Amino acid sequence: MKPSSPRMHLYKQIVDAKLYIDDFYMNAIDLELIASRACISKFHFHRIFKACYNKTPHEYLTHLRIKHAKQLLSNGSPTPDVCLTVGFESLSSFCKLFKKKESVTPAEYRAMTLRQNKLYKHQPLNFIPNGYASYLGWE
Amino acid sequence: MISKLSHSSIFVLDQNSARDFYVNKLGFNIIMDVAVGDKGNWLTVQPYDQSELQITLIPINTGLMFVGEIANQLTDLVKKGAFGFGIFETKDIYATHQELKDKGVEFIKPPKEGPSGIEAIFKDDSGNWFSLIQKTTEK
């Protein structure tokens, strides 16, 4: 059954909160403040957010920061710059969390992806299924 | 025996616009984005929680696998919404519907309850359509 109007209002609040995190992940985000702005308890906010996005707001924020960090590292940005740019306050906690999530340190990830990007640039067809590429006219 | 599907292709009218749509509107991750000379990019994306199947965004460029009249016919068919390329799942269809609408994604059908779940239909920036479903057992 389609949610009632108050329920739809709640969805709107949760989506707004998620989009706020998407836009401002690099800032110090107070998730309790976001919950209070949505006029719902922190517990309720977390529960509904997790039901919608399969992650708590804090897990989602971390996921987003790591995702953007990976992008910046693969473009060659140094680890301390990336740490600050994506919103982590401490370099050591950023490195620890990154290693936990990605199984390599930010510096190792940066070196690995830069190497990979170089190969992509010079030998792109080595990384595409050849038969498919050939049929596409890319050989 | 065939063990799994690793790549599936979607034909798009403009690869840069498609990259923006799939990454910034649908929230997909880029897995590979490799320039292949001046012919376009090998561009693959994945939804948020998907780890194996890559979706390849193939531009309908004349000179690749599509030549002359075929490219024109395919462009017309994509624009007319002839292709439904797949079904995406979501944990919460009302939240996802709200979020995508807020981002400007066009829905052909809003969420509606059916025997297999609550389902909506949306279009990508080229005109390809997709089902979005929250399976009945999910919530």
Domains of chain B: 7-138 (3.10.180.10)
Question: What pLDDT is recorded for position B70?
Answer: 85
Lowest mean pLDDT among A120-124, B12-16, B82-86: A120-124
Q: Which positions in chain B touch A54 (Cβ < 8 Å)?
A: 49, 91
- Output the CA angle A79-A84-A88, nearest 5 degrees: 100
Angstrom distance (rounded) from CA B5 to CA A128: 15
Q: A62 and A23 share a domain?
A: no
| Cross-chain CB nearest to B32 (options A2, A54, A127) | A127
Please write the tens of the pLDDT for every residue from B40-74.
888 999 998 888 899 999 988 766 667 778 888 99
Number of domains present in the structure of chain A: 2
What letters, b where the CB count within 10 A reaches 16 and e where it falls short, cover A27-45? Answer: eebebeebbeebebeeeeb
Q: pLDDT at residue A2 above 80? A: no
Report CB contact under 8 Å: A137, B99. no
Q: Which positions in chain B touch A3 (Cβ < 8 Å)?
A: 94
CATH code (residue A68): 1.10.10.60
Q: Which positions in chain A touch B34 (Cβ < 8 Å)?
A: 120-121, 124, 127-128
Which chain B residue lies closest to A118 (C-alpha atoms)?
B34
DSSP string, A17-50: HHHHHHHHTTS---HHHHHHHTTS-HHHHHHHHH
A119 in reach of chain B (CB within 8 A): no
Q: Of the spans A50-59, A99-108, A130-139, B68-77, which averages the highest pLDDT?
A: A99-108
Angstrom distance (rounded) from CA B128 to CA B88: 13
